[in-house]
Amino acid sequence: MSRRPFHRAGEAERRADLLTATLDCISEFGLQGATVRRIAARAGVTPGLIRHYFTSKDQMLQDAYREVMTGMTGAVAAAANGGQASAREKLHDFVAANLTPPVADGRTLSFWAAFISHVRADPAFAEIHRESYLAFRAVLETLVADVLAEAGEPPDPIRCQKLAIAINAVIDGLWIEGTLVGDLFAETPLADIAIRSVEALLGGIRLTAETPQT
């Protein structure tokens, strides 16, 4: 395991470095193997300095989980921020971003697998998961409402919420399979499958341009 060279850093930068080192160690050694000593060595600091930023290892792991979840939500939300793009294009890009790297890759899966058991057992992890899920769903509900309005259909909030829940379920299922056995889908891009499924849920509203008939 390589040690990062020491350099002076501000409080925010040092804390971010420690969270990055924590995630690196979790990816390499698992949750139990990500000891304070290993994390300190990866970050190039002493174990004592970690206690200056985190009251306990549990808090450090909780903040690392929050970093993973907000990072994933932020990445896909950014993909849907297409400036002058139409509402349909934005939803298309949002769905596709969930099923392509860096959101859909082995490293992200390893974090999810390491943390997910704690969500049921630890109230702090459960709250982080709940917050990130609701934030993700809120973005999705807005995108769905914009698509419906663009298609001339009333964006009823209850309908938008139900559609967001269903679309999230499609994305989650394909994300898990795609990151676990991605080689099985080499010739069938999961993003395309997800987009077609979302179009069906939306009652046939197309998110991609029709291919001209030849």
pLDDT tens for 185-210 read 887 889 999 999 999 999 999 998 65
How many CA within 13 A on the CB side of residue 167? 31
> Model pTM?
0.86
User: What pLDDT is recorded for position 125?
Assistant: 95
Tokens of 160: 């938008």
Q: Helix, strand, or coil here: 204?
A: coil
CATH architecture type of domain 1-54: Orthogonal Bundle (1.10)
How many CA within 13 A on the CB side of residue 137? 19
Cα(39)–Cα(22) distance, integer angstroms:
5
User: What pLDDT is recorded for position 197?
Assistant: 97
User: What pLDDT is recorded for position 21?
Assistant: 96
Sign of the four-CA dihedral 98, 103, 108, 112: negative
Sign of the four-CA dihedral 42, 121, 114, 130: negative
Q: Residue 83 has what DSSP assignment?
A: T
CB atoms within 10 A of CB 214: 3
Contact yes or no for 93/211 (Cβ under 8 A): no
User: What pLDDT is recorded for position 9?
Assistant: 52
CB atoms within 10 A of CB 170: 20
User: What pLDDT is recorded for position 211?
Assistant: 45
Superfamily of chain region 59-201: Tetracycline Repressor, domain 2 (1.10.357.10)
User: What pLDDT is recorded for position 78?
Assistant: 87
Domain ranges for the chain, please list them: 1-54, 59-201
User: What pLDDT is recorded for position 213?
Assistant: 40
Residues in the chain with pLDDT < 70? Answer: 1-9, 209-214
Cα(67)–Cα(59) distance, integer angstroms:
12
- Closest by CA to 62, choosing from 91, 88, 92, 31, is 31
Residue appearing with tokens 């291919």: 211
Tokens of 158: 């209850």
Q: What is the mean pLDDT of the chain?
A: 89
User: What pLDDT is recorded for position 186?
Assistant: 80
